[in-house]
Amino acid sequence: MKDLIIIGLNDLSKEILFFIERINIVTPTWNILGYIDSQTESGNSIDGIPVFGGYESARDFADAFFVCAKENPALKKGVISLLKDYIGRKINYATIICPSAAISSKAKIGEGSVIGEHCVVGPNVLIQNHCLVGSLSSIGTGSVIQDFVRVGSGAIVSNRVKLGECCDVGIGAKILDCSSVGRNSRVGIGAAIAKDVQDNCVVLRESSNVAKFAAPSSGNRDRLVIFGSGGHAKVVADMARSYYEEVIFDTDNSFFLNEGMIGSYDAFVGIGDGKIRAKLIHRLESMGILCPTFIHQGAEVSEGAEIGGGTVIMAGAAVNTSAKIGKGSIVNTGATIDHDCLIGDFCNVAPGAHLAGGVEIGNYTIVGVGASIINNVTIADNVIIGSGATVIKSIATPGTYVGVPAVRI
């Protein structure tokens, strides 16, 4: 029998252990040496199986096989990279296939991948390395599943589908024939995909409801910390709970002092003041953490629009084609951003505001509730457009502008 170490101590590691027990009943194959887990002290044991401590202990078992029980795709990728650094040579990874799975003889499954109970994997399917295919899911003929992909239990991946690296397909999701899902993208529980999904996106229910991510901070999309706890933070939290298992608020910046949270949580700044928002986002960026972008499922955002990291698009908002919105901005409830608009960083377009085509807005600018800006107008940095104002010509000087037409006060 081959010696095996399970990386991680969680529900998935217990499920893998169950699969191994089933495999060994049919053909004795694996001898479980123990777990390696960075959160559990060496010397403990779980159900009689020893825990050897953190990832550095992998050096002591360099000749054994390993399987990684981290469910989050990006987190798993990071752990595999760490193990390579610690062991310093080629590592043997076990491929675990539950005996009840139906696997075509023409399918190929890479090292470190885990195939759950009663899965169906069709002909000419390629499942690359370190993937997880949950129980009762199916992968159709000719599909390609790249490295570190998770396919949730009961998901249906139809024929000739491509799932990019670190893609995460939720429980019961359906991806129809010939569709592709980009790298680092997440398909929500029960979502149905009938067209291609770009890299770094979250699809909530159907392909038209897409939340684009500029770059997830830690890659761990199961947990999110939101800076702030006011009204804006609460609205963001409601959106975030659609695809984060845990959402917490940070009101005193303790996140920056907690090494256990850094790298384990995504981070978002849910503070209405643009200057404070900028300060915190810049601090996160200095730590290598880039905030995700949230788009409410009730917003209409063109696939031709570009949305920066840390920006939020609220319910009922519309962002049309070729519009570009910078990082850390807010497009509030019912606001409209027409074609070819350029919105700077850390701006706030308030509820019901309307920007016609070709408008350019500078950094830190606020467009008030119900304000309107006619087409092809340019507005400088640090401008406040008052509620209900109408801007009919460009504004080059910072300040507050009110009225119809808007004038400086």
Residues acting as catalytic residues = 339
Secondary structure of 81-110 in the HEC alphabet? Answer: HHHHHHHCCCCEECCEECCCCEECCCCEEC
Give the Cα separation of 221 and 240 in Å (integer): 10
Task: Give 72's DSSP letter.
Answer: S
Rounded Cα distance, 161 and 139, in Å: 9
Query: How does DSSP classify residue 69?
Result: -
* Distance from chain centroid for Cα 367: 30
Which residue, among 228, 341, 379, 318, has the nearest Cα to 367 in the 3D structure? Answer: 379
Three-class DSSP labels, 108-153? EECCCCEECCCCEECCCCEECCCCEECCCCEECCCCEECCCCEECC
Q: Are the C-beta atoms of 266 and 284 separated by less than 8 Å? A: no
What is the bridge-based pairing of β-strands 92-93 and 30-36?
Answer: unpaired
The answer to whether the beta carbons of residues 157 and 171 sit under 8 Å apart is no
Pull the structure tokens for residue 332: 């509030």
Q: What is the CA radius of gyration of the chain?
A: 24
Q: Comparing C-alpha atoms, which of 382, 284, 366, 288 is closest to residue 331?
A: 366
* Calpha distance 364→328 (Å, rounded): 10
Three-state secondary structure of 309-376:
CCCEECCCCEECCCCEECCCCEECCCCEECCCCEECCCCEECCCCEECCCCEECCCCEECCCCEECCC
CA distance 241 to 218: 17
**Cα–Cα separations (whole angstroms), residue 318 to 126, 156, 336, 349, 351:** 39, 32, 5, 12, 11
